Amino acid sequence: MSDYNVPEVWEWDKDESNAFGNQPIAGSRFKQSLPKGDAPFQLYSLGTPNGQKVAMMFEELKEAGIDGADYDLYKIHIGEGDQFGSDFVSINPNSKIPAMMDYSEDEPVRVFESVNILLYLAEKFGQFMPTSWAEKTELLNWLFWQTGAAPYVGGGFGHFYAYAPTKQEYPINRFTMETKRQLDLLDRHLADKDYINGDAYSIADMAIWPWYGRLVQGALYGDAATFLKAEEYSNLKAWADRIGERPAVKRALDAEYKDIK
């Protein structure tokens, strides 16, 4: 049963508040001057799963002793609308964290989309990605998979299970079904390997862990791990715990995000 009569044409009710500051309009909403530190990389982000991916990569590069990968990390408070400021929008016109500037090239380079930032850094430093064509293709399979799959978990399951103002069976069922299917997929994939791409830890693990690893570890959306029977995905849970033990990953989760105001 629905109490919503779908109109012929949707109109934006500007007076209707929503907790997420959503509007059907892209572009910047106010003038903003973002701080810039001395490091070659300036990362404007937040400790959400998409933000954690990039902090993990920088901390892994540090752990591996790679020169030239220093970064300044700034907090874009998405609850306060920082992502709609003019400076941030000039780095990421899509107004989503994370967004990064690389000042180490002849001309500054802007990079947005978390997985594109991982790829950019992996290629630039020749780290955490295989060199053979076949293995690189498999890596890309999982990176693209993550980009397409996680919105069903975050924007679908997580939103309706934890954040929506009313609990509704239809969307919770629909997105739980898909989330559990994805967890089962990863569990089967990890049955005979330690890492997503096989024997070597790679940016595929960094992309997937903050969503699916943290979900089965019980770190996302309240009691979601219980609701999803996360303990049944034992290969996935073992992988999640393996990654979670890495010093760089622990540092990334504890990273300090500097204020921008």
Ligand X SMILES: N[C@@H](CCC(=O)N[C@@H](CS)C(=O)NCC(=O)O)C(=O)O
Q: Which stretches of the chain bind ligand X, using CB under 6 A?
A: 48, 50, 78, 83, 95-97, 113-115, 147
Looking at the Cβ atoms of 61 and 97, the one nearer to ligand X is 97
For residues 76 and 249, which CB has a smaller minimum distance to ligand X in the complex?
A: 76
Q: Provide DSSP, 44-71.
A: EE-SSHHHHHHHHHHHHHHHTT-TT--E
> Contact 74/45 with Cβ under 8 angstroms?
yes
Between 30 and 234, CB nearer to ligand X: 30
Nearer to ligand X, 44 or 239 (CB): 44
Distance CA 92, CA 83 (A): 9
Q: How far is the CB of 115 from ligand X (least distance, A)?
A: 6
C-beta of 83: minimal distance to ligand X in Å? Answer: 5
| Least distance (Å) between residue 163 CB and ligand X | 12
Tokens of 154: 């975050």
Strand order in the sheet with 71-75: 71-75, 41-45, 99-102, 109-112
| Least Cβ distance, residue 237 to ligand X (angstroms) | 23
Residue 98 preceded by cis peptide, ω within 30: yes
Q: Phi, psi at residue 110, to the nearest 5°?
A: -95, 140
Minimum distance from residue 155 beta carbon to ligand X (Å): 8
C-beta closer to ligand X: residue 108 or 155:
155
Of 227, 48, 11, whose CA–CA distance to 155 is shortest? 48
The continuous run of DSSP H or E covering 184 comes out as: helix 169-189
To the nearest whole angstrom, how small is the minimum distance from the Cβ of residue 78 to ligand X? 4
Closest alpha carbon to 206 in 54, 45, 10: 54
Question: Nearer Cβ to ligand X, position 32 or 83?
Answer: 83
183 closest CA partner among 114, 250, 249, 240 = 240
Phi, psi for 240 (deg, rounded to 5): -60, -45
Nearer to ligand X, 7 or 155 (CB): 155
Least distance in angstroms from the C-beta of 133 to ligand X: 25
> HSE on the CB side for 147, CA within 13 Å?
14
